[in-house]
Chain A
Amino acid sequence: MAQMLQSEEVLFATESDVDNYNDQLPEIATEKYLIFSSDSLMYGIKAEQVRDIITGYTITYLPRVPGYVRGVINLRGQIIPIVDIRLRLGKPEQDNFCIIVVEVDGSMVGIMVDMVEQMVDVPLDSILPVPTNSGQAMVSGMCTLHDGNTMLELDCGLLLHD
């Protein structure tokens, strides 16, 4: 009973609450996630993979690549490919200019999203497996946030290599 209460509390804890919680019970492992929205869904990326959040870069068109690769940008001298997550997931295109730069397997990739929401601590045990029949191939887990939204955990490796 106590166990259940605990996990419920964590699930609905605000960020500061979680911090308090960590002070008391440091053994509960949490992971920081960056939440962003795309086509009214909330996605989370492990914060440790995130290198930068940028806006207003000119994207250079690259011929002969799949449509979801919007091109490349020059980020302080580095050439970084940009993947539009809407197109990648088969959603309609929209002009959105917020790019999350992540590092996957040693290379940097920019992910184009609608909007970056917030940073949250998510207890690892609250991330549940995705039901197999959901078509979201690049989602490796899901979890309910304290505001009632559901976060889909995005697996950047799958996003790139599938």
Chain B
Amino acid sequence: MGDSILDMYLYETNTLLEQLDGILLTAEQADTFSEDNVNEIFRIMHTIKGSSAMMEFSSLMTVAHRIEDMFFIVREKGMDVVPEQTKPELFDMLFQAVDFFRGEIEKVENGDPLSQSIDHIVNKINSLIDKIQGNPAAPAAEASAEAESAPASEAEAAAPAVSAVNQDYPYGVHVFFDEGSGMENLRAFMCANSVKDYCGDFVTYPDNVESDPSTSDIIADQGFFVWFRTADDRDSAIPGVKNAGSVREYQPVDAAKPAPAPAQEAPKAEAPAPAPSAQAPKADSPAPKPAPAAAPAGQQHAKESLISVNLSKLDQLLAVVSEIVITESMVTASPDLKGLRLDNFTKSARDLRKLTDDLQDVSMSLRMVPVSGTFQKMNRIVRDMSKKLGKKAKLTLIGEDTEVDKTIVDAIGDPIMHIVRNSMDHGLEENEADRIAAGKDPVGEVILSARHTGSEVIIEIKDDGQGVDTQAVLNKAIRQGLAAPDHDYSQKEILNFLMMPGFSTNTEVTEYSGRGVGMDVVKKNVADVGGTVSISSEWGKGMTTTLKIPLTMAIMDGMEVSVGGSMFTIPINSIQSSLKVGAKDVIHDPAQGEMVKIRDNFYPIIRAKELFQMEKGYENIEDGILMWVESGEHSYCLFVDELLGEQQIVVKPLPNYVNSFGVKNYGITGCSILGDGSISIILDVINVYTAAHNIF
């Protein structure tokens, strides 16, 4: 139980911090906080403060509290209150605070004790608050921040907002009507009428109850406020409240002492529009809805519509769903049904099929998450590094919404970070002048993009820096004994040296990259999820690193073929076409390799029977069929016995024991269970090609 609360806390706080990071980055670019930003930061800090207090993490709570105070002032008085020269300081402080929160959260996650000395950061915030205030009015602001913190918090929404609508009417009565009495706005109106008999000088909140039925919900939720000028007025009016119908409960409330600048505040409250600034975020419906109200309301809704689920439960669900799909086809295609005319059964079976398809789609989508979270983190890295290294750079994100499996998102985070750092550190030119001389925008650009092809996610990290100096790479590779000095290497081969363990071109180790670990680790991490890394670069123009990762645990469309009585699945999207050829169409090369000419191009033939050392299977090229396949830069024809047909299959990984024999290198990536319960082996077109080349 305690753990699940902690989990919730960590999850929530991390999400908020990520959000905050995002806001800060956009705000820094705009060099100001919009009204929405300020409200959002205020809300985030308030939530962190509240939940940290609940978890008794006092350091987090104190810092969040101070920032909340600061943003309260900003919120009240507008961004103009921050002197121009203080702005960079403000941003830096906030980024520091985010780092501080992250650090503390990490400590919580690891069970380490939290920092005790938070004075430096608190002092920094305090001095900023003073600067913003321009005078020592901080204590007063703090008091009112305390009092008014309620509106932002969802949990406290029902608590009385002890803040007068109008500073001139500080003495209030908080009235609640019978629960479920309905038409609360009219009851409030009647209540106000009844009060009128005793004392005429008062204001109400909400104030347009008789004309706006939507206020009824607010009243039901938060109660109805009647504010008086003096305590005496209120006392004399109490009987009026008492006499009004359906009143469940009422209590006198006193408004907090007004915020430091009543003169500024008063005109606002007297303005004809009903929603006064402090109250607005809380009441989310009165007609002229001010902008701040929208943000918290939308946020709360989003929060409620998300739940976090243990990943293992999802996996379990998926396993069961794939079983259902398989079992369903086993039932409907049962040999016992052969030759029977079963109209009703067939109809129901069809319905069942549709439902299981839907079920499968939905459950598959559960594990999919957008890459935006991982991408957004890079913003911060680019910002920090560009400050530190003094290189101007911007990050452009493309296809943030691309959804990939959760395991992939987890696996690509570090590799992307490595590559982005590399681009910032080694890729972009040291001096702006160099960029200008090369005719480029002085501000460097790193583009991070994600997209789907049928069976893969492609993530590209591209920079417009100086590119890779292939000669330097080659020289280094030779020095390190990775390359032979008297060999001619292609551009691509040279770039591949970058991904060898222990290779780093930079002679100096910087804070961010160049520890000699890097691209080889990237390659390994990506390979762990079955992906590949490739680098392309043009000297002077920049460098592109491409990660190609297969969609794991996917359902895919495959073409079933048979070879020597065994069934194999070839992914549909790598098939160009299938063709029958005669013996005379086959061209032999001196090494007894076979080729076939299709549309003015020659393609090698790979015989599956030989590659897989099958005992049975067709020998004559006329008997079988050629599957012309293509993936990446390889295109060839796979010779198989028969084409069985297209099928949607659930990819199952091979048992670890089988994988330990390295069958992946022969293009055997997984298997799937067909409708009749038999197993088909899924082929990976690229590895089949490489395997065939290594053997023959």
Contact = CB atoms under 8 A, between A and B. Distances in A.
Interface string B651-669: 0111111100111001010
B566 A60 contact: yes
Chain B CB count within 10 A is highest, among A73, A81, A108, A160, for A81
A66 B673 contact: no
Contacts of B612: 63-64
B668 A72 contact: no
B681 interface: yes
Contacts of B566: 60-61, 63
Interface string A46-87: 000000000000101111111001001110110111000000
A79 B657 contact: no
Interface string B304-328: 0000000000000001001100110
B394 to A, nearest CB: 48
A63 B657 contact: no
A79 B652 contact: yes
A64 B668 contact: yes
A74 B678 contact: yes
A63 B677 contact: no
A62 B663 contact: yes
Given A72-B655, A72-B679, A109-B657, A63 B613 contact: yes
Interface residues of A toward B: which range? 20 to 34
A79 B680 CA distance: 11
B671 interface: yes
B200 to A, nearest CB: 79
Nearest to A66: B661
Given A69-B658, A80-B655, A107-B656, A64 B613 contact: yes
A65 B662 CA distance: 8
A61 B565 CA distance: 9
A62 B681 contact: yes
A66 B663 CA distance: 10
B657 A107 contact: yes
Count class of interface residues, chain B = 20 to 34
B668 A79 contact: no
B668 A62 contact: yes
Contacts of B678: 58, 60, 74
B521 to A, nearest CB: 27
Given A60-B566, A60-B681, A65-B663, A109 B655 contact: yes
A160 B660 CA distance: 10
A110 B63 CA distance: 59
Interface in B167-223: none
B654 A79 contact: yes
A157 B342 CA distance: 51
Contacts of A61: 565-566, 614
Given A69-B661, A77-B326, A107 B655 contact: yes
Given A69-B658, A72-B679, A63 B663 contact: yes
A100 to B, nearest CB: 15
A72 B653 CA distance: 12
A73 B678 CA distance: 8
Contacts of B327: 77
Interface string B602-623: 0000000001111000000000
Contacts of A80: 655
Main SS of chain B's interface residues? mixed
Contact of B661 (A65, A72, A107): A65
A62 B566 CA distance: 9
A77 to B, nearest CB: 5
Nearest to A83: B657
A145 to B, nearest CB: 30
B9 to A, nearest CB: 32
B469 to A, nearest CB: 41
B673 A77 contact: yes
Contacts of A72: 654-655, 658, 671, 679
A77 B653 CA distance: 12
A77 B323 contact: yes
Contacts of B319: 77
A3 to B, nearest CB: 43
Interface in A77-102: 77, 79-81
Nearest to B563: A63
Contacts of B567: 60
A73 B327 CA distance: 16
Interface string B460-501: 000000000000000000000000000000000000000000
Contacts of A76: 323
A64 B681 contact: no
A63 to B, nearest CB: 3
Given A74-B678, A107-B656, A64 B661 contact: yes
Contacts of A64: 612-613, 661-663, 666, 668
Contact of A79 (B565, B611, B671): B671
Nearest to A57: B677
Nearest to B320: A77
A16 to B, nearest CB: 38
B438 to A, nearest CB: 51
Given A72-B655, A81-B655, A63 B326 contact: no
Interface in B204-253: none
A124 B355 CA distance: 54
Interface in B39-86: none
Nearest to A160: B657
Contact of B679 (A66, A79, A108, A160): A79
Nearest to B326: A77
Interface in B573-612: 611-612
Nearest to A59: B679
Interface in A104-162: 107-109, 160
A62 B657 contact: no
B322 A77 contact: yes
Nearest to A60: B679
Interface in B629-672: 652-658, 661-663, 666, 668, 671
Nearest to A76: B323
Among B326, B567, B657, B673, residue most surrounded by chain A Cβ atoms (within 10 Å): B657
15 contacts: A58-B678, A61-B566, A62-B663, A62-B668, A63-B612, A63-B614, A69-B657, A74-B673, A76-B323, A77-B319, A79-B652, A81-B657, A81-B658, A108-B655, A109-B657
Interface of A: 58, 60-66, 69, 72-74, 76-77, 79-81, 107-109, 160
Given A63-B611, A63-B666, A81-B657, 14 more contacts: A60-B679, A61-B565, A61-B566, A61-B614, A62-B668, A64-B612, A64-B666, A65-B658, A65-B661, A74-B679, A76-B323, A79-B671, A107-B655, A108-B655
Closest 6 CB pairs of A and B: A63-B612, A60-B679, A64-B666, A77-B323, A65-B661, A81-B655
Interface of B: 319, 322-323, 326-327, 565-567, 611-614, 652-658, 661-663, 666, 668, 671, 673, 677-679, 681
